[in-house]
Amino acid sequence: MPSKDLREQLDLIRSIQPAIHVPQNWNYENPGPMYKAYMHPPHDVGGQFDVPVYYEEKEEEDWELNTYVTCEVLGWRGAWTAEERRRRADNDLGYTLYLGMPYYARWIWAAAKMLVDKKHISLAELQEKIAEVRSRYEKK
């Protein structure tokens, strides 16, 4: 029987999936606009409706500066270009992560994905490293 935390986590995952699911099965009706909508790169938001909000400043976290520098230095030393970073961090990750995750979280996610995609590291190696870093901070 799953624990309470696990059930809450499952509910949370389900809740961030898009509210409108319109599975397209044959016979397609007027598929053109829907096809274009699916193909639309998520980062192209100019002209979409949104509401007035308070425009805030944010103090930069230490890890955010490190993320920025890591991503730029990966570019400097030839692992990727900024253009590839934008493609990955602003489009490939999909709408849920794009609209949900913090700004610099997308940057570091994209860097990790790039390293795995380009076989600089294996995903297993990344998982083990994450577990090891976590364990450093669990020691009391």
Could you tell me which of 89, 139, 97 has the C-alpha nearest to residue 113? 89
Taking the least distance from each CB to other proteins, the nearer of 27 and 50 is 50
* Residues near other proteins, by CB under 8 A: 39-41, 43-70, 72-87, 90-92, 99, 102-105, 108-109, 111-112, 115, 120-121, 125-126, 129-130, 133-134, 136-137
The C-alpha atoms of residue 98 and residue 96 are separated, in whole angstroms, by: 5
CB atoms within 10 A of CB 113: 16
Shortest Cβ 5–other proteins spacing (Å): 15
At residue 111, φ and ψ (nearest 5 deg) are -65, -45
Q: Which is nearer to other proteins, 29 or 62 (CB)?
A: 62
Nearer to other proteins among residue 34 and residue 130 (C-beta): 130
Using an 8 Å Cβ cutoff, are 115 and 126 in contact? yes
For the bound state, the minimum distance from the C-beta of residue 60 to other proteins, rounded and expressed in Å, comes to 5
Q: Which residues are catalytic?
A: 103
| 6/1 Cα distance (integer angstroms) | 10
